[in-house]
Amino acid sequence: MSNHALNPAEAAAVPMHAASTPRRWLRTLDRGLIALVEVCAAALLALEIVVMLAGVVSRYVLHQPLVWSDELAGILFLWLAMLGAVLALRRGEHMRMTALVSRLSPQRRAFVDTLAIAASIALLALLIVPAYDYAAGEAAIVTPALQISNAWRALALPIGAALMLLVGLIRLAQVSRARDVVVVLAIAALLAVVCVFAGPWFQTLGKLNLVIFFVGVVAIGIFTGVPIGFSFALATFGYLGLSTFTPLEVVVGRMDEGMSHLVLLAVPLFVFLGLLIEMTGMARAMIEFLASLVGHVHGGLSFVLIGAMYLVSGISGSKVADMAAIAPVLFPEMKKRGASEGDLVALLATTGAQSETIPPSIVLITIGSVTGLSISALFTAGMLPGAVLALILCVVVWWRYRKEDLSGAQRFTKQQIGRLFIVSLPALALPFVIRMAVVEGVATATEVSTIGIAYSMLIGLLVYRRFEWRRLGRMLVDAATLSGAILFIIGCATAMAWALTQSGFSQDLAQLMGSMPGGAYGFLAVSIVVFVMLGSVLEGIPAIVLFGPLLFPIARLAGVHEVHYAIVVILSMGVGLFSPPFGVGYYSACAISKVNPDAGIRPIVGYMGALILGLLLVAAIPWISIGFL
C-alpha cells in the first residue's frame, strides 16, 4: 500500500510529451493554485484556533459566552476539510493500496496509476453538480447565531470538488503518457455507455446490487490503487445512481454530515498540537524522561505508546485525534532506537482499537444516548476491558522485542531520572491539563485541543525557550493537508453507511442475527463477526446510531447484559476499524505516522491476533465489563 495517490514518480515511466510552453503554463497554474489554497487553508486553521480559544476564554474567564463561536467554527471547518483534501490530492496524501500495483512492471504500473487518477477525476466530475445543488438547497437555511445563509458553509463542497478536479486534471496532463490517457478515456466511455443501458437491469437485481457495488466496485477500486475514500464514494454513487431513484445530492449531504461532525473539529487541532509539541521541545523533554525509565527494557518505548494511548484516549472524542497527539511525540525517538516503521504504525493502529472503550469516549456517550443505557455505567465498564487488552498487547511487545540488542542502552541513575523528570514536568503535565479541562467542564472535547495548543505555546516560549516562528505557516499547511485526507475518507464512508442503511441491509442483518442458535454466547459470537466487518467500513458513531436500537433489544432477549454487549460491540468495531485492508482507522494511523501502509501489514497481524484474543476473553467473561457496576 501507499499513501501517495498521485505521485509523479510512480505514475508514469515516461511523461506525456508536450510543447514546452503549455507545460510551463501548467506548472505555473499548478504552483499558483496550490500556493493560494495553502494560504487559505493555513489562515482557516489559525482562525479556527483563535475562534475556539476565544470561546473558551469568554465562557469561563469573562463569563460572557460567545454564542456564535461553535457555529463559526463549524463553517470554517468544512472549508478547511475540503481545502485540506485539495492539498492532499496535490501532494498524493490520500490513502490508497498499492500492494498489487507495486508488483507490476513499470509500463503496466504507469497505466494503472493513470487509471487511478482518471477514476478520481470521474468521481469529482460526478460530485460537482450534486454538491452545487446541495449548496443551493442550503441557501434557504439561516444559521441560528450568525443569521447568515448556510450556503456560505455548504459552498465548500462544490468549490472544493472543483478545485480537486482541476488538480487531478493537471496531474493527469503532467505525469501520464498520452497513449495511457487515450486508453483510459476509451474505457471510461465504454463504462458510461454500459451504465446508461444497464440502469434498468440493475434496478431488477435488488439486494444483489449491494454485493456488486459495495463489495465488487470497492474491492476493484482499492486493489487497483484508487484512493480509499474515492473508492467508497464511487461505489455509493454507482449504487444510488444505477439501482435507485435517490437524488445524488443526498449523498453529498451525508458526506457533509460525516465531515462536519462536531467531534472531528478536534482532528486538525490535535494534528497541529502534535507538530507544536515537537517544535517547542516538549516532545524531546518528555521522551528523554520516559526513556530514562524504560529505555533499557526490551520494547520499552512500545510500552510507553500503549500506556499513552490508554491515558489520553477519549480526551478529544476522536481516535484519529488521539493518535495525532501521541505519534509525533514518540515515533521519532522510537525510530532512532531501531524500531521499524511498520511495527510502529501497526502498534499505533492496534492501540487505537484497544482504547475505544476508555472514557470519556464519544462512542460510549453515543451508544448510551441511542440505547438508553446509563452513560456513567458505560464509563465504569469501559476501563477494565481496555486495561486487559493493553496488558495482552504488552505481552506481544515483550515477545517481539525479547531479543532486542540493549548493549547500547543507557541506564540512568536516580539523580539523573529526577533531573529529567523536573525538566519534563511541564510537558508531562499536558495530558493531565487537557483531561482536567474536560472533566471539570472548562472546555468541550472539541475545544480542549485549543487549550493544549495555548499551553504548549506558553511552555515553549517561557519554559523551554524554543519557538520557531518561521515554521508555523508550514505546520498549519501540513496539519490542514493531513486532516483533509482523513476527513474526506470519513465523509465518503459515512455516505456509504447511509446507502447501506437505506437498502434495508441493517434490518435484514438484525433479523439474521436474532435467529442464530447458541443462546447468549452464540449471539455474542455472531455480533463480534458482524461488527468487525461493519467497523472496517463505518465509523463507530454511524454504526452505533444505525444498528444499536435494532440489536440491543435482541441482546436483552438472548440473555446478554446490555452494558456488557455495548463493550463487546465497541471493541469489535474497533478491531474492524483499524484492520487492513479496508479499515479506515488503519489508513488514518498511517497518514498520521507518515508511514507507507504496506509496511504495517505484516507486523499488525500479530497485534490484531492478540487483540482478538483479548476481545474473546472480554466477551466470554462478563465480569470484566460489569464486575464494578
Q: How far is CA 167 from CA 33, 92, 368, 475, in A?
A: 9, 11, 43, 22
Q: Could you tell me the pLDDT band of residue 5, with boundaries at 50, 70 and 90?
A: very low
Most confident of the ranges 131-135, 541-545, 560-564: 131-135
Q: Is residue 489 part of a domain?
A: no
Inter-axis angle of helices 597-620 and 341-354, nearest 10: 30
401 shares a domain with 318: yes
Average pLDDT over residues 326-342: 74
**First-to-final CA distance of the chain:** 44
Inter-axis angle of helices 20-60 and 266-279, nearest 10: 90
587 shares a domain with 445: yes
Average pLDDT over residues 562-566: 91
The predicted pLDDT at position 543 comes to 65
* Rounded distance between C-alpha atoms, residue 68 and residue 71, angstroms: 5
Q: Is residue 33 part of a domain?
A: yes
- Final residue in a domain of this structure, among 207, 241, 259: 259
> For residue 568, is pLDDT > 50?
yes
CB 122 within 8 Å of CB 169 = no
User: Would you state the torsion angle of the CA atoms of residues 269, 274, 279, 281, taken in this order, to the nearest 10 degrees?
Assistant: 130
Average pLDDT over residues 24-42: 91
- Final residue in a domain of this structure, among 237, 259, 281: 259
301 shares a domain with 209: no
> For residue 11, is pLDDT > 50?
no
- Mean of the per-residue pLDDT values of the chain: 82
Q: Is residue 352 part of a domain?
A: yes
Q: Could you tell me the pLDDT band of residue 578, with boundaries at 50, 70 and 90?
A: confident
- Final residue in a domain of this structure, among 213, 228, 259: 259
Report the percent of the chain where pLDDT is more than 90: 20
Cα 431 → chain centroid? 21
Domain count, the chain: 2
Q: Could you tell me the pLDDT band of residue 163, with boundaries at 50, 70 and 90?
A: very high
The predicted pLDDT at position 6 comes to 43
* Rounded distance between C-alpha atoms, residue 569 and residue 577, angstroms: 12
> For residue 37, is pLDDT > 90?
yes
219 shares a domain with 137: yes
Q: Is residue 345 part of a domain?
A: yes
Handedness of CA 329, 332, 333, 338 (dihedral sign): positive
User: Which residue(s) pair with 149 in the sheet?
Assistant: 142
The predicted pLDDT at position 441 comes to 65
How many residues comprise the chain? 629
Q: Could you tell me the pLDDT band of residue 12, with boundaries at 50, 70 and 90?
A: very low
The predicted pLDDT at position 408 comes to 60
Reply yes or no: is the peptide bond before residue 200 cis, omega within 30 of 0: no
Handedness of CA 215, 3, 124, 71 (dihedral sign): positive
Reply yes or no: is the peptide bond before residue 360 cis, omega within 30 of 0: yes
Q: Is residue 482 part of a domain?
A: no
248 shares a domain with 280: no
230 shares a domain with 115: yes
509 shares a domain with 584: yes
174 shares a domain with 41: yes
The predicted pLDDT at position 589 comes to 84
Q: Is residue 194 part of a domain?
A: yes
Report the percent of the chain where pLDDT is more than 70: 85
Average pLDDT over residues 551-578: 86
Q: Could you tell me the pLDDT band of residue 344, with boundaries at 50, 70 and 90?
A: confident
Q: Any idea which of 36-50, 150-164, 228-242, 409-423 has the lowest mean pLDDT? A: 409-423
* Rounded distance between C-alpha atoms, residue 489 and residue 496, angstroms: 11
> For residue 290, is pLDDT > 90?
no
The candidate with the shortest Cα–Cα distance to 112, out of 220, 232, 229, is 220
Q: Any idea which of 258-267, 465-474, 493-502 has the lowest mean pLDDT? A: 258-267
> For residue 90, is pLDDT > 80?
yes
The predicted pLDDT at position 323 comes to 77
219 shares a domain with 127: yes
Cα 188 → chain centroid? 30
pLDDT digits (tens, 9 = 90+) for 298-315: 777 788 788 777 766 655
Structural domain containing residue 528:
266-471+503-629
177 shares a domain with 290: no
Most confident of the ranges 82-91, 201-210, 324-333, 418-427: 82-91
Q: Could you tell me the pLDDT band of residue 601, with boundaries at 50, 70 and 90?
A: confident
* Rounded distance between C-alpha atoms, residue 441 and residue 448, angstroms: 10
442 shares a domain with 311: yes
The answer to pTM > 0.85 is no
> For residue 111, is pLDDT > 70?
yes
The candidate with the shortest Cα–Cα distance to 249, out of 240, 258, 262, 260, is 240
The predicted pLDDT at position 509 comes to 67
Burial classification of residue 561, based on how many CB atoms lie within 10 Å of its CB (0-12 exposed, 13-18 middle, 19 or more buried): middle
> For residue 36, is pLDDT > 90?
yes
DSSP string, 600-614: HHHHHHHHHHHHHHH
The predicted pLDDT at position 537 comes to 63
The predicted pLDDT at position 156 comes to 95
> For residue 7, is pLDDT > 50?
no
Q: Any idea which of 56-60, 124-128, 460-464 has the lowest mean pLDDT? A: 56-60
The predicted pLDDT at position 87 comes to 95
Q: Is residue 490 part of a domain?
A: no
Average pLDDT over residues 542-548: 65
606 shares a domain with 629: yes
The predicted pLDDT at position 253 comes to 92
* Rounded distance between C-alpha atoms, residue 293 and residue 200, angstroms: 67
Average pLDDT over residues 591-612: 85
Q: Is residue 162 part of a domain?
A: yes
